[in-house]
A and B are shown apart, each in its own frame.
Chain A
Amino acid sequence: MKPVRLKVNIEKRLANFNLSVQIEVGAEILVLFGPSGAGKTQTLNAIAGLTTPDAGEITLDGTVFFRSSGAPNKASTVNLPARKRRVGYVFQQYALFPHLSALENVAYALWRQPHAQQRAKALLERMRLAELAHRYPHELSGGQQQRVAIARALAMEPHVLLMDEPFSALDSEIRGRLHQDLMKLQAEAELIVIYVTHSLEDAFTVGHRLAVVRNGTIERIGEPRDVYPHPTNAAPAEGVCDTLTLASTQSR
């Protein structure tokens, strides 16, 4: 089977800067790394269909998510609605439906589909949550909630999984285990994963490739070791120092 590729080439005018992102992602974990407000979340939202770029193109192999016609009236612009893109999205603050149990959250995307309950149960089991299926989100810890959120996104069998600082509110031990889960999932399902973070440690742990985002553009992209040759060094490659400072001051 030919590997699926997500191609993003978009422009969008934002309040403080212009977003201009060109990336191509295959079955891998691409980390978007940079300070808050650099345009990372905007990029994810554009891919998911939650915001509309001003110009450009987003395609997943033959499927056009977005293609601007270039015409000023946007008449022939293609803009596939979010619900038809089948792009999994894991949000920073979990965003589980508070009125639904863990199982019902996972089964959400399987509405009126055959065997929804069994499929949702299988996903929860895969995320080691089987015994918590009937708990409500407020009865779960942060790490458990985020695992439910991942299972919920995977229920519709997406090719693409977007993660916006998914584990930033969790302590480092739980984060480490969730990172292992994620890498296993990605390899098994050959998922295209775009993982947004402002933690360089996270970026190095999960990233097959690393893209540094700043002021709406991709400053550098490549394998983590090539982008930041000595990330733990006190005097690292140029640009790392201030990025790290920014990241630490802006993390909650």
Chain B
Amino acid sequence: MNWSALLLSLQVTVVATIILFLIGLVLGVLLARYRLPGQIIIETIIFLPLVLPPSVIGYFLLLALGRGSPVVEWFHVSLLFTWQAAAIASAVVGLPLMVQSARAAIANVDHVLENAARTLGSSELQILWRVTLPLARRGVIAGLILGGARALGEFGATLMVAGNIPGRTQTLPLAIYDAVQARRYEQAQMMVIVMTAIAFVGLWCVRQLERPLPKRRRRSVE
């Protein structure tokens, strides 16, 4: 078992999930509640990572993070071939799953409840925090798990922007590839089992969240 790869994978996934939560939530709210100019174009761009080959995403990320990009020029941070780059790559591929789930859950919240909150003196931000998000929480959590699981399994784009440096940027999927290449099958098998188990538990949780709530009781006696 390659422990450093497992730990690094968890670290990358946690950071990617935090990014997913913040960006995915903002996008989910915007797409569910507002008619934005160029909405279809924005949605299409967010969903591109679902269908693009990892090498293409990796290429775009190289442009975004590499020499000459605003990140390097303005902030003087070079992220290429660091674990942070792996986290960004993982977040990008997980984002469509998070946005889709969060957007659907937020759109499902009854508008009348938000209007009621408006008449009760809430600002738009308070409504989001006190009404919309609590009611959409199942979908948001499901999206986070889906996006996080996808982030954990990221391979191609990570390889291109973070490399495959054991102990520094080699995540579990990359370590499995290396192990197989080097014919260390037993080590590979162990990691495959761990990856599969984590993914299984994650998807099982999502299924639980998507199940309808038990039939609500109604008391008819006044």
A50 touches B131 (CB 8 A): no
In chain B, positions 105-156 with a C-beta closer than 8 Å to chain A are 110, 112-113, 115-123, 126, 130-131, 134-135
In chain A, positions 60-101 with a C-beta closer than 8 Å to chain B are 81-89, 91, 93, 95, 97-99
State whether the Cβ of A144 lies closer than 8 Å to any Cβ in chain B. Answer: yes
User: Inside 8 A of B120's CB, which chain A residues have their CB?
Assistant: 83, 108-109, 152-153, 155-156
B121 touches A99 (CB 8 A): no
A99 touches B134 (CB 8 A): yes
Nearest residue (CB) in B for A170 is: B222
State whether the Cβ of A139 lies closer than 8 Å to any Cβ in chain B. Answer: yes
B222 touches A143 (CB 8 A): yes
A139 touches B217 (CB 8 A): yes
**Alpha-carbon distance A109/B222, docked complex (angstroms):** 26
Nearest residue (CB) in B for A149 is: B116
* Size band of the interface chain B makes with A: 20 to 34
B134 touches A174 (CB 8 A): no
In chain A, positions 32-76 with a C-beta closer than 8 Å to chain B are 48-50
State whether the Cβ of A141 lies closer than 8 Å to any Cβ in chain B. Answer: yes
State whether the Cβ of B207 lies closer than 8 Å to any Cβ in chain A. Answer: no
A83 touches B222 (CB 8 A): no
Q: Mark A128-156, 1 if CB is under 8 A from B, else 0.
A: 00000000001111011000000011011
CB proximity of B8 to chain A, nearest CB, Å = 38
* Size band of the interface chain A makes with B: 20 to 34
Nearest residue (CB) in A for B112 is: A95
CB proximity of B86 to chain A, nearest CB, Å = 37
Q: List 29 A-B contacts (CB under 8 A).
A: A48-B115, A49-B118, A49-B119, A50-B115, A50-B118, A50-B119, A81-B118, A82-B118, A82-B119, A83-B118, A83-B120, A83-B121, A86-B121, A88-B119, A89-B115, A95-B112, A95-B113, A95-B115, A97-B117, A97-B135, A98-B113, A99-B135, A109-B120, A138-B218, A139-B217, A141-B220, A153-B119, A156-B120, A156-B121
Q: Which A residues contact B (CB, under 8 angstroms)?
A: 48-50, 81-89, 91, 93, 95, 97-99, 108-109, 111, 138-141, 143-144, 152-153, 155-156, 174
